[in-house]
Amino acid sequence: MTALRVILGDQLNPRIASLSDVNKAEDHILMCEVGQEATYVKHHKKKIAFLFSAMRHFAEQLVQDGFNIHYVKLDDPGNTGSLVDEITRAVEIIDPSLVVVTEPSEYRVLQAIKSMDVGVNIDIRPDDRFLCTHDEFAQWASGRKQLRMEYFYREMRKKYNILIDDGKPTGGDWNYDSENRKPPKAGLMVPQTFASAPDELTQEVMALVADRFADHFGDLEPFHFAVTREQALQALEQFIDERLINFGDYQDAMVQGEPWMYHSHLSFYINCGLLLPLECVEAAEHAYRAGQAPLNAVEGFIRQIIGWREYVRGIYWLKMPSYEQANFFDADRDLPALFWGADTKMNCLKQCVTETKENAYAHHIQRLMVLGNFALVAGLDPKQVNEWFMVVYADAYQWVELPNVTGMILFADGGLLGSKPYAASGAYINKMSNYCKGCHYKVSKKNGEQACPFNYLYWDFLIRNQSKLRGNHRLSMIYRTLERMSEEKVDSVKMDSIRFFDALEAKQIV
Ligand code: FAD
Ligand code: DLZ
Ligand code: SF4
């Protein structure tokens, strides 16, 4: 019996469920580069080059290991341009008695595969790279008034026995986040991120991307991502050896000219399968046990992976497809051109967009507290904001992008994922970065043309949405402060915001 085993672009691991019972002699493995996946949103050039190169390297490895590979390149004659049509075409060519696929990570692709009729059974297997199944998450969520990552995370720690000593959390506490908010200090020496020179195969892919996707956002060069499992393991090792020690302390810090900071830069590799989440977590725990990294750093890193990563995926599958439509604040402002690199006088936004364009990467606090904070307080349309975040980051797949954008930054789900909106004034950005020093605006000024726009947009957001937010007990202090604000001050907030929004709409440089 011949099976056709489909490997999607984000399933690049030999331990993937669809290969668990592969018969090397008889089965065929299908991988395909298709125009539709690269253009349904116009992904950053670096993301496409990264994924195509990683796919080709993975296929090459499978060939060396003796598998029958049916690999369709983007420019192969006959390439139909869509995943579904390529699977159909391969079924016609290979004539298997079964198609096996690991559940696609994105709802859109799962629906497309489920609705296929290729004349043979399609076996869709759970993706066991994730640490929590859909059923487990649904069970955990059922009956709870509020979903909170922290409680989910504790369950995951217990389930996988991670940072647990004698049944209790290592060090006595579950969470050391309060130790992970140090502002950057002058003269921080940030180690280089992992870099590998593009080999011949990657160069070929880069030429293809430069030719076919020239109008997509983002810089293709320099390209230094890992594109094989071996290289991704080196990137993991380099993070554990050189940056994990400071990951916790400076997790929220932003420094001009330092796009990578002490973060791991592993999301690209974990999300496409080159690394497995549990091996990253185990490497970090091992470093702690060996005395190489402090607990606040190790626990913080582990929480991101077995906590946040699994939690957002759980919410995605719990709430799709309606989650895509969520717009709690009825926000409808168009995404301004500054997100695509048009000039802006707001230095924090300029830095984060420029680095995003160069690297297809920004770290979490840049995404959350600069780009996301602006999208929230300016009332940008969730659909356009989601599309932007899907386009620009090399780690973006809808299962992880959508909950982070709709839930975490925009609060467009009304508080399902997080308990309050992450809105902040310029003071937060000034505390956690050195961006304000080089800015046209004055972070110390609350109103007027020179004032930092975040300072008045923050209050304008709270005023505009008070009917929806006043009942949120985590915002009660802030609303009491607003009540005590003079009428004159409230008027200045509104006037400054109107002036700012008018300028945005008139496409002036803000
Ligand atoms: P580190 O800071 O080193 O964290 C370690 C790992 O934890 C990451 O590699 C990632 O796998 C995981 N992680 C951390 N935070 C989150 C989170 N909030 N959700 C899920 N996983 C997390 N992450 C993506 O992988 N893809 C996205 O498209 C994406 N879009 C985002 C959009 C917004 C608006 C925000 C606020 C966050 C988004 N994130 C996304 C989460 C997070 O910002 C990135 O995972 C992280 O910046 C990747 O860099 P890193 O590998 O250096 O992470
Ligand atoms: C993101 C992406 C891109 C750019 N190209 C491909 C591709 O050519 N072939 C493929 O199998 N997957 C690609 N992907 C990933 C998919 O868009 C999608 O995220 C996965 O199939 C998971 O559902
Ligand atoms: Fe950003 Fe305001 Fe600081 Fe300028 S002053 S960098 S706009 S926070």
Which atom from ligand 3 is nearest to the alpha carbon of 435?
A: 6
CB 232 within 8 A of CB 58: no
Query: Whose alpha carbon is nearest atom 2 of ligand 2?
Result: 37
Q: What local confidence, expressed as pLDDT, does residue 501 receive? A: 98
Q: Is 124 helix (H, G, I), strand (E, B) or coil?
A: strand
Decide: 386 in ligand 1 pocket, CB within 6 A.
Answer: no
Among the bound ligands, the one closest to the CA of 371:
1
Q: What is the DSSP string of 330-394?
A: ---BPPPGGGGT---S-HHHHHHHHHHHHHS---HHIIIIIIIHHHHHTTB-HHHHHHHHHHH-T
Q: How high is the pLDDT of residue 146?
A: 87
Task: Name the DSSP class of 322.
Answer: G
Ligand 2 centroid – CA 433 distance (Å):
35
Report the pocket of ligand 3 as residue ranges, CB < 6 Å: 346-348, 426, 429-430, 435-436, 439, 441, 443, 452-454
- Residues of the chain falling short of pLDDT 50: none
Pocket mutation for ligand 3, best pick of 354, 429, 432, 500 (most atoms within 8 Å of C-beta): 429
**Per-residue model confidence (pLDDT) at position 184:** 94
**Domains, in order of start, for the chain:** 3-125 (3.40.50.620), 134-191+243-319 (1.25.40.80), 337-505 (1.10.579.10)
pLDDT at 198: 98
Per-residue pLDDT reduced to its tens digit, 351-366? 999 999 999 999 999 9
| Tokens 């605006």, residue located | 441
| Phi, psi (deg, nearest 5) at residue 508 | -80, 160
Cα dihedral angle (266, 268, 269, 270), rounded to 10 degrees?
A: 80
pLDDT in tens, 203-258: 999 999 999 999 999 999 999 999 999 999 999 999 999 999 999 999 999 999 99
Where does 21-142 show beta strands of DSSP type E? Answer: 28-32, 68-72, 98-102, 121-125
The 3-state DSSP class for residue 63 equals: helix
Q: Which of 10, 18, 75, 392 best tests ligand 2's pocket when mutated (most atoms within 8 Å of CB)?
A: 10
Q: What is the pTM of this model?
A: 0.98
Task: Note the ligand closest to the C-alpha atom of 390.
Answer: 1
Q: What does the pLDDT read at residue 145?
A: 84
- Strand-pairing partners, residue 102, are 125
123, 101 Cβ separation under 8 angstroms? yes
CA of 377 to the centre of ligand 2 (A): 32
| pLDDT for the residue 366 | 98
